[in-house]
Chain A
């Protein structure tokens, strides 16, 4: 099968490959930590696994996009569908992570379920329906990607979920004097850059490395509240 690799494809392989390396390294750490019963941050590791799938789907999409080998169109469509489904799930899980890990408000998840998670669930259903209708995105006979009529609302909803995550971190910082906690731009910048830089400059997708960085920094930022004196007795 001739993949007809372009430089854009190579760039995608390098950058998504870097995400896979980073996530793979972090997941290998979890196996080592699991041996010592230290995988207490299970939600984070689930997020990493989804991010890995996101990076792989992104890679498949960019390798298949605008190519004419047999099955390229279906690979492209399949890759994009998996990409958006996984991205949506990740944003909901990340929100849950921020609520549970940072603010430790599990009951708020139940009381605000409609506002927090129902939009994401609707998007998930729409992505499945999109396979048959093309209302969010489609791939034509020439294997070229097009946005559908509901693409912008989907994008805005995902942005809303990401914004909720930043709000949780921001509320945590203002409610408690956590001077150890890192600046909020550390969480915001990678995912925003990942979504908007390719949108403005075109070409390579940075969504998966942006997500990976934001999630990793969230995890490490929450670890900043631990006793960094090594647990020595007070």
Chain B
């Protein structure tokens, strides 16, 4: 039915952007229901989704204009196209804001970062405003056929850099910051780039579809992170422990030893960094309570446990932070579940150094 009034290109564009709109709306509704400790991050992410939604809607409007279904004057076409360009700029700026906030959670750092990009963004916006009257970046001829100039591609490269540079910074930061362990890059990066690539080399405006898929995958990351990660320390949280208990009970997780560190609840972020620096890679620290960090391990020998607990104790004592340490090994005929229950009961009751 649709193919009789539209060309196939318009048909494909509307379908693809319709799918993008549906996906973005779904993620927007889902994310609005998620209650996070940091509401700023949620607001920034929601803004990103709203802008992407606006882009998808504009692509549909542009497609309908190109098909002649929406009548449009020359100035109207310039204004619609310029509005879409401004939305793309807004998306890039919001993307930089989101990535910065996700990595650093620091308004000060964000402000410094924004100060660096404000000049190029302002210049690009000015160029697009001037372009409405002069057409030196893109223009429409008498038949309303859209044409881009060489300068437009320069702006595109700058916008691409806005997208890629935060990802490179994230990749480097992941190596040092445990708080962003759940932020996986490849899935969303590949899908966004692929569809943006198709947008540039074919007549199909499907960039919004790639962006919507990328943002959906980022949202899945956010849910995973907040499901199992303590937002203050970056350690696993009690949900993870409940999940591990099921695995231990089903013998899918080999638990041989455990340590418990009881520290003051205030300034837990700095305390957790000190603890994390002393723990070996195969230890899984869990924030068991407001002031208790439980570490489960696979080691069967007492001496590594003793060494790690001493290292942690020394590191915190040097920083003037009081700490109580408990550790224990699973007995030979004891199951993982029984050991964990025994350890937690004893360690909860009184913190002692078990050497």
Chain A interface (Cβ within 8 Å of chain B)?
6-8, 10-11, 14-15, 18, 21-22, 24-26, 28-29, 32-33, 37-38, 40, 180-183, 186, 189-190, 193, 200-204, 206, 209, 213, 216-217, 220-221, 223-224, 226-233
Contacts and interface: CB of A to CB of B under 8 A. Distances in A.
B100 interface: no
23 contacts: A10-B12, A10-B204, A21-B213, A22-B217, A26-B220, A37-B247, A181-B33, A186-B30, A202-B2, A203-B2, A209-B19, A217-B30, A221-B30, A223-B227, A224-B30, A224-B34, A227-B239, A229-B35, A230-B36, A230-B37, A231-B228, A231-B238, A232-B232
A220 B223 contact: yes
B206 interface: yes
Interface string B238-275: 11100110110000110000000000000000000000
Given A213-B22, A232-B230, A33 B191 contact: no
Given A10-B12, A203-B2, A217-B26, A22 B191 contact: yes
Contacts of B34: 224, 228
Given A11-B11, A14-B198, A37-B244, A226 B290 contact: no
A22 B188 CA distance: 8
Closest 9 CB pairs of A and B: A231-B237, A25-B187, A7-B8, A230-B231, A11-B12, A21-B191, A25-B217, A233-B290, A231-B238
Contacts of A221: 30
Contacts of B303: none
Given A11-B15, A32-B184, A203-B11, A26 B217 contact: yes
Q: Which of B26, B213, B252, B289 has the most CB of A within 10 A?
A: B26
Interface string B209-229: 110010011011101101111
Contact of A202 (B1, B223, B243, B253): B1
Contacts of A230: 36-37, 226, 229-232, 237
Contacts of A193: 22
A89 B252 CA distance: 28
Contacts of B26: 186, 189-190, 213, 217
Interface string B1-26: 11100001101100110010011001
B206 A14 contact: yes
A180 B33 CA distance: 6
Contacts of A28: 184, 186-187
Nearest to B291: A233
Given A26-B220, A32-B184, A182-B30, A14 B12 contact: yes
Given A28-B186, A230-B231, A231-B240, A220 B15 contact: no
Given A7-B11, A38-B243, A182-B30, A14 B3 contact: no
A220 B2 contact: no
Contact of A204 (B15, B30, B231, B288): B15
Interface of B: 1-3, 8-9, 11-12, 15-16, 19, 22-23, 26, 29-30, 33-37, 184, 186-188, 190-191, 194-195, 198, 202, 204, 206, 209-210, 213, 216-217, 219-221, 223-224, 226-232, 237-240, 243-244, 246-247, 252-253, 287-290
A208 to B, nearest CB: 11
A216 B227 CA distance: 16
Contacts of A229: 35, 37, 231
Contact of A186 (B11, B29, B243): B29
A183 to B, nearest CB: 7
Contacts of A190: 22, 26
B253 A37 contact: yes
A181 B33 CA distance: 7
A213 B12 CA distance: 19
A8 B15 CA distance: 11
A183 B204 contact: no
B2 A180 contact: no
Contacts of A186: 26, 29-30
Given A18-B195, A29-B221, 19 more contacts: A7-B9, A7-B11, A10-B202, A18-B213, A21-B191, A26-B217, A26-B220, A29-B187, A186-B26, A186-B30, A189-B22, A203-B11, A203-B15, A206-B15, A220-B223, A224-B30, A228-B34, A229-B37, A230-B37
B33 A224 contact: yes
A15 B15 contact: yes
Contacts of B16: 11, 14-15, 18
A38 to B, nearest CB: 6
B12 A228 contact: no
